[in-house]
Amino acid sequence: MAAAAVVLGVVAAATITIVLTTRPMMPAAPGSAATARPGDVPATGTQPGTTPQPGTTPQPGAAPGRPGTTRPGTRPPVIDHGPRTGNLVALTFDADMTEAMRYRLRSGQVRSYANLRVIELLEREQVPATFFLTGMWVEEYPDLTRRIAGNPRFELANHTYRHAAFTGDCHGLPQLPATAMVSDVAQTFAVIGPYGGRQTRYFRFPGLCHDGAALAALAPIGLTVVGGDVISGDPFAVAWEPIVTAVLSTVRPGSVIVLHVTEANAAMTDEALPHILAGLRQRGLAPAALSQVLAGR
């Protein structure tokens, strides 16, 4: 059921046209550095790193490099949460884009799959977050991707190129041929890489759907698969309250919270986010970059 919530917005996008009143795109503006707060991790440069970022620990079988890097040829580890100690949690935002979504966007049926209010709130409140980007979303929103990459509190991760399924039964998503899995994920890293910022080798399957064959197929790439233990259910929610309840009722230290930044498919996320942040503070939990939350595993 948790996996079904993640992909509800994507599956419905193939059959439902949603018209929303959205805010216009704002010009790209690099995030400004601010005084560090608990849960922050220093930013890295725009060139690939040769050592792990401060506060991170390589995953089992890892080779030195960006967070999430593993030795090519080894089966990727699958992680749903960090250590259950301390008070850190990871806010992660998926930026989905399928062929059907791109058609709706370009044809004017949908005005935006980029929720600027989410980005602006995170910037204003200086909240660390990790964005799992599809390659096609990046291509549709290069200026916003540049803005995200320019914020030292944000990390960039991989959510495939076209958000196709990696298994035969993944909630109605079109299936990606096994022979195309490596190239799809590698293409996304290639699309995201030039934007610099805090690049990672974290990867999230569409719908969180995977099996042994999919993991084996991705072994040559040298990455870490990240799911999540807190599924917000924000795709196509018609009110913000259930999203907040879903998050705050299950969040624990080390949790990886799955949210979306695809506005037309997750219109209530920006309404829910302030309440989620307030609830985390009341519970003594602090958002941090995914690499920091997973440190020590």
What's the pLDDT band for 64 if we cut at 50, 70, 90?
Answer: low
Closest CA to 96 of 213, 194, 188: 188
Task: Output the CA–CA distances (angstroms, integers) from residue 139 to 133, 134, 176, 230, in the order listed.
Answer: 10, 9, 20, 28
Q: What pLDDT, on the 0 to 100 scale, is given for residue 162? A: 94
Check: CB of residue 204 under 8 Å from CB of residue 229: no
Closest CA to 8 of 191, 253, 242: 242
Q: What pLDDT, on the 0 to 100 scale, is given for residue 8? A: 39
Rounded to an integer, the average pLDDT of 222-230 is 97
pLDDT above 70: residue 175: yes
Q: Are strands 230-231 and 256-260 parallel, antiparallel or unpaired?
A: parallel
Rounded Cα distance between 162 and 258, Å, is: 19
What's the pLDDT band for 296 if we cut at 50, 70, 90?
Answer: low
Rounded to an integer, the average pLDDT of 262-287 is 97
Check: CB of residue 253 under 8 Å from CB of residue 288: no
80-100 confidence digits (pLDDT tens): 999 999 999 999 999 999 999
Closest CA to 224 of 111, 56, 86: 56
113-131 confidence digits (pLDDT tens): 999 999 999 999 999 999 9
Which residues, in sequence order, are CB contacts of 183 under 8 Å at separation 6+? none
Q: What pLDDT, on the 0 to 100 scale, is given for residue 16? A: 32
Task: Output the CA–CA distances (angstroms, integers) from residue 137 to 61, 179, 197, 289, in the order listed.
Answer: 31, 23, 17, 21
pLDDT above 70: residue 18: no
Rounded to an integer, the average pLDDT of 213-231 is 96
Check: CB of residue 288 under 8 Å from CB of residue 81: no
Tokens of 64: 């030195």
Q: What pLDDT, on the 0 to 100 scale, is given for residue 58? A: 39
What's the pLDDT band for 171 if we cut at 50, 70, 90?
Answer: confident
Tokens of 146: 């540049």
pTM of the prediction? 0.79
pLDDT > 90 fraction of the chain, expressed in percent and rounded: 74
Check: CB of residue 270 under 8 Å from CB of residue 117: yes
Average pLDDT for the chain: 83
What's the pLDDT band for 168 if we cut at 50, 70, 90?
Answer: confident
Rounded Cα distance between 43 and 40, Å, is: 9
Which residues, in sequence order, are CB contacts of 296 under 8 Å at separation 6+? 57, 82, 83
185-210 confidence digits (pLDDT tens): 999 999 999 999 999 999 999 999 99
Rounded Cα distance between 243 and 233, Å, is: 6
Tokens of 226: 């990240």
φ, ψ (nearest 5 deg) of residue 155: -110, 155
Left, alpha or beta for 86 (phi > 0: left; psi -120 to 50: alpha)? left
Rounded Cα distance between 126 and 123, Å, is: 5
